[in-house]
């Protein structure tokens, strides 16, 4: 079962950007949208990541992202649940 979710990420330490991008690339098969907005006046970047993934996969990604120095993350799950997509979908 997969669930649609949105992950809000705030990056305060630019040294974590490369590791964050590597994680997002690793989970790319579950990500269907991503938007990043640099807020230069405050020295942060705000990123939203839209996922359709099993809840444990989304939680795993959120945990890894949140463990990065200077990175905060919150995840919001929808009530939209579906059977897991196959390789041909």
6 sits in which H/E element: strand 2-11
The confidence score (pLDDT) of residue 69 equals 98
**Domains identified in the chain and CATH numbers:** 2-82 (3.30.70.1150)
> Over the stretch 43-70, which tens digit does the pLDDT of each residue have?
999 999 999 999 999 999 999 999 999 9
> Over the stretch 16-44, which tens digit does the pLDDT of each residue have?
999 999 999 999 999 999 999 999 999 99
The confidence score (pLDDT) of residue 16 equals 97
CA distances from 65 to 14, 17, 39, 46 (A): 13, 10, 19, 13
Global pTM? 0.88
The confidence score (pLDDT) of residue 40 equals 95
Centre a 10 Å sphere on the Cβ of residue 71 and count the other Cβ atoms it contains: 21
């Amino acid at each position: 079962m997969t669930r649609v979710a949105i992950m809000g990420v705030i990056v305060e330490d630019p040294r974590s950007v490369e590791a964050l991008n590597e994680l997002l690339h690793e989970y790319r098969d579950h990500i269907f949208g991503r938007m990043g907005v640099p807020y230069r006046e405050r020295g942060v970047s705000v990123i939203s990541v839209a996922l359709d993934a099993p809840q444990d996969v989304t939680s795993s990604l959120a945990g890894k992202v949140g463990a990065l120095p200077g990175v905060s993350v919150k995840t919001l799950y929808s009530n939209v649940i579906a059977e897991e997509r196959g390789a041909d979908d």
